[in-house]
A and B are shown apart, each in its own frame.
Chain A
Amino acid sequence: MISTRARRPPLLRLDDSNPLVPYLYLLPQALLFLAFVVFPIAFGIYVSLHRWNILSDRQTFVGLDYYTAIFTAGTPQAQFFWKTMLNTGFFVAVSVPLLIGCALGLALLLEKPIAGRGFFRTVFFLPTILAVSIMGLLWRWMFENGSGLINVVLERIPFLNTVPFLTTVGWAWVPIIVGTVWWTVGFNMVLYSAALAGIPRAYYDAAQLDGAGTFATFRFVTWPMLAPVTLFAAITTTIASFQVFGQPHVITNGGPLRSTQSVMMYITEEAFTNFRFSSAAAMSMVFGLALLVIAAFQFRLMLQDTGRGNS
């Protein structure tokens, strides 16, 4: 072994002293990374600058036409892209605070030991393992206009009327948002539970000595200590919520009047139903760039990691 090393030039050595060894380990992932991450980004931009017809061998270059269409009032692209953008923004604005608040609430309820704690935690986490289609079918039936459980209950309560949730502009968001909270709140709850368990007991003891009540303890000890988790959860939830697709796809199919159609749904409609892949690629780029801004923020946070607990 030693003798080989002495004789051969470094790049041809057959052992760990060859400086190419680290690259060898990187190679398999790097090849796939180039093929399925780097190349598609460039290819997506290329597609968005052409009028892509999958049945043709040569593609017509159209420059920024599909981008300007998104920003020109009166084109269907602008009309629906921004309408569905707005829908998506509404969904994010309502669901993210709920997903953070409810998760924190559940985690606090489960913080101290109580009979059946394991059972409750399991129950609250249970929906997160279901596929979005299952969740959608369940809540579609729960909120069904005539015989869904929610309307069956509403029927029984005096002075309340049944609500045709699935077909009324505005109300149609209720099944989607309730379903989403039910479906994903367990994940943030686990994050909070772990963070709560990590708060040193001494902080609470000190607060108690200072005569702090329950609320004051929460306000001045628990909440600041949870800040990093809250930020992490808020950003991951925001990014996930912006890309909402399955819930409205299954529950309302974007209706009524496209009022619950998300921007992801519209992009897929443009691509796979209208066969305008270039237009869809352009929209993906615009939408993706907007998300990138949020993601960059998350990126910074991940780098700063912990140690911001007292901010």
Chain B
Amino acid sequence: MNERHRFLRFPIALATLLLVAGVTLAQSVTIDYWHGFTGPDLPIMEGLVADFNAAHPGIEVQAEAIPWGNLFQQIEPSVAAGRAPDVVAVNEDVITGFILRGALEQLTPEMLAEHSIEPERFFQSLWSIGMVDDAVYGVPVHSVMLVMYYNTQLFEEAGLDPNDPPQDRESFLEAARALTVDTSGRHPGDAGFDRNNLARWAAGVPTPWMGGTIAYSVAAQNGVTFVGPASDDFPVNFNSDEGKEAVQFLVDLVTEHSVSPANATEESEIAAFRQGKAAINLNGVWMVSQYQEAGLDFGIAPFPHLGTGDYRVWGGASHLAMPVQRRGDPEEQAAALTFISWMTQAQQNLTWTAAGGLPTQAEVADHSDYQSNPMTAVKEALPNSYVLTGFPFIAQLRGAWDSGFEAALLGDKDVDRALDDAAAEATSSIRDGLLSLPDR
């Protein structure tokens, strides 16, 4: 795709030049746009960009898809070298860091108003991700959540109703026991049940990141906020009794209830779900097209309410933002804002949800065309997605949490020690992170 664009660029440039010179039409502005939608969502993103270009003769957006990890490594060097893209997509866990290190341009109220980007349109939980101290730096373009996929055929075989998937702790455990069978056909709890030779199981509790994400959701349902207020330098609180209860519950799924194989990974669980070995897969909304392609009979439900408090679930988002330009060109900036505005309108968001993303605004969620989307099953959970954001050390905090959970799950440490150690690690990372922030 990019190759083709490059070949086209010369004739296009030439044609533009001729037009400008001869007819003195409005000249075309070229906008570079980097994003990380490299999966099955890529063609849809490219289609949207093509639509934008067709609808805006004065602006040519050149999109480049770069895997997220690489993309985030590139943003600051490109800003420093003065060749940053005009628009970039950034995720909830890194955006605050980029803002605080001065890599992103503020979107002033005037800019937002002039380009009809109305904050009220978006879910506030998403909108606030792009803000630091009341200043706006990004506009939500993409939203994701942890959901539950389940194999309807296996549900029927186990005598469960595929139209009524388990949604709380008790029904989840009950369904999980029914779904788990060892190679001689025994269920957990039966005499002679062999937990080391499972033929089928409910849902593997995996490591590292996805396991941490599941544990994060259960802990959030137990009321854990992970860190305290910024004014106290973000005190880490995930090793509270509630946090430990959440982790212990997930560890017990493996050790006590035997409804998950030991040593599951995110990849092995995806493979097992595709093979019809795992009846349930807890993963992000982005898996849907892969499972559809695999020809599975599966249903989608909100991530179950496994915690003891209010319903919460892990959520994430991508925002469109403008990297700082060494030579600010007002025309390019205006074009970039036009693009950001267009891309985040309800109509485009609706198109985008076909790629597996969730609506960023209520208008889309309630739109009649959205109701046929398989993810409408989790619509109710949308307002309850709990996004960790607002400080620049999320990667370190999540790193500590994930490895603490991993240590507990793999039996490396008991839950108490695993989470206490992880909290100590997170605390020192945050202290260190606060020190290394540039003076603002």
Q: Do chains A and B touch in the complex (CB under 8 A)?
A: yes
Question: Which chain A residues have a beta carbon within 8 Å of chain B's beta carbons?
Answer: 51, 53-56, 60, 69, 74-77, 79, 145-147, 161, 164, 166-169, 255-258, 272-276, 279
Q: Which of B44-52, B71-79, B161-169, B302-310 contacts A (4 or more CB under 8 A)?
A: B71-79
- Minimal Cβ-Cβ distance residue in A for B268: A145
**Are B410 and A54 in contact (CB-based, < 8 A)?**
no
The interface residues of chain B lying within 8 Å CB-to-CB of A55 are 76, 79-80, 101-103, 324, 438
**Are A169 and B410 in contact (CB-based, < 8 A)?**
yes
Can you sample 7 A-B contacts with CB below 8 Å? A54-B77, A74-B428, A76-B429, A166-B265, A255-B207, A256-B410, A257-B208
Asked if B86 lies at the interface with its beta carbon under 8 angstroms from chain A, I say no
The interface residues of chain B lying within 8 Å CB-to-CB of A169 are 410, 412
- Minimal Cβ-Cβ distance residue in A for B77: A54
**Are B97 and A275 in contact (CB-based, < 8 A)?**
yes
- Minimal Cβ-Cβ distance residue in B for A163: B263
The interface residues of chain A lying within 8 Å CB-to-CB of B76 are 54-55, 275
The interface residues of chain B lying within 8 Å CB-to-CB of A274 are 395-396
**Are A146 and B79 in contact (CB-based, < 8 A)?**
no
**Are B410 and A77 in contact (CB-based, < 8 A)?**
no
Instruction: For A275, give its contact among B101, B412, B439 (CB under 8 Å).
Output: B101
Asked if B196 lies at the interface with its beta carbon under 8 angstroms from chain A, I say yes
Asked if B407 lies at the interface with its beta carbon under 8 angstroms from chain A, I say yes
Bound complex: CA of A164 vs CA of B79, how far in Å? 43
Q: A54-B76, A55-B80, A272-B73 are in contact. Are A257 and B263 (CB under 8 A)?
A: no
The interface residues of chain B lying within 8 Å CB-to-CB of A166 are 265
Asked if B425 lies at the interface with its beta carbon under 8 angstroms from chain A, I say yes
**Are B396 and A276 in contact (CB-based, < 8 A)?**
no
**Are A76 and B432 in contact (CB-based, < 8 A)?**
yes
**Are A161 and B196 in contact (CB-based, < 8 A)?**
yes
Q: How far is the CB of A285 from chain B (nearest CB, A)?
A: 18
**Are A53 and B438 in contact (CB-based, < 8 A)?**
yes
The interface residues of chain B lying within 8 Å CB-to-CB of A69 are 432
| Chain B residues numbered 394-410 whose CB sits less than 8 Å from any CB in chain A | 395-396, 403, 406-407, 410
Bound complex: CA of A168 vs CA of B265, how far in Å? 11
The interface residues of chain A lying within 8 Å CB-to-CB of B428 are 74-76, 79
Residue total for B at the interface (Cβ-Cβ under 8 A):
36
**Are B412 and A257 in contact (CB-based, < 8 A)?**
yes
Asked if B279 lies at the interface with its beta carbon under 8 angstroms from chain A, I say no
Q: How far is the CB of A8 from chain B (nearest CB, A)?
A: 47
**Are B263 and A145 in contact (CB-based, < 8 A)?**
yes
**Are A276 and B438 in contact (CB-based, < 8 A)?**
no
Asked if B436 lies at the interface with its beta carbon under 8 angstroms from chain A, I say yes
Bound complex: CA of A69 vs CA of B77, how far in Å? 25
**Are B425 and A56 in contact (CB-based, < 8 A)?**
no
Bound complex: CA of A108 vs CA of B432, how far in Å? 54
Q: A54-B76, A76-B432, A255-B208 are in contact. Are A167 and B263 (CB under 8 A)?
A: yes
- Minimal Cβ-Cβ distance residue in B for A164: B263
Bound complex: CA of A283 vs CA of B271, how far in Å? 39
Q: How far is the CB of A145 from chain B (nearest CB, A)?
A: 5
**Are B271 and A146 in contact (CB-based, < 8 A)?**
yes
Bound complex: CA of A162 vs CA of B206, how far in Å? 18
Q: How far is the CB of B57 from chain A (nearest CB, A)?
A: 35
- Minimal Cβ-Cβ distance residue in B for A165: B263
Bound complex: CA of A272 vs CA of B76, how far in Å? 10
Q: How far is the CB of B87 from chain A (nearest CB, A)?
A: 18
- Minimal Cβ-Cβ distance residue in B for A171: B263
Asked if B272 lies at the interface with its beta carbon under 8 angstroms from chain A, I say yes
The interface residues of chain B lying within 8 Å CB-to-CB of A272 are 73
For the A-B complex with A75-B432, A164-B262 known, give 20 more contacts whose Cβ atoms are closer than 8 Å. Answer: A51-B436, A53-B101, A54-B77, A55-B76, A55-B80, A55-B438, A56-B438, A74-B428, A75-B428, A76-B432, A145-B268, A147-B271, A168-B263, A168-B410, A256-B208, A256-B410, A258-B403, A275-B76, A275-B97, A275-B101
Instruction: For B432, give its contact among A77, A145, A146, A161 (CB under 8 Å).
Output: A77
Bound complex: CA of A233 vs CA of B432, how far in Å? 41
Bound complex: CA of A147 vs CA of B272, how far in Å? 11
Bound complex: CA of A272 vs CA of B69, how far in Å? 10
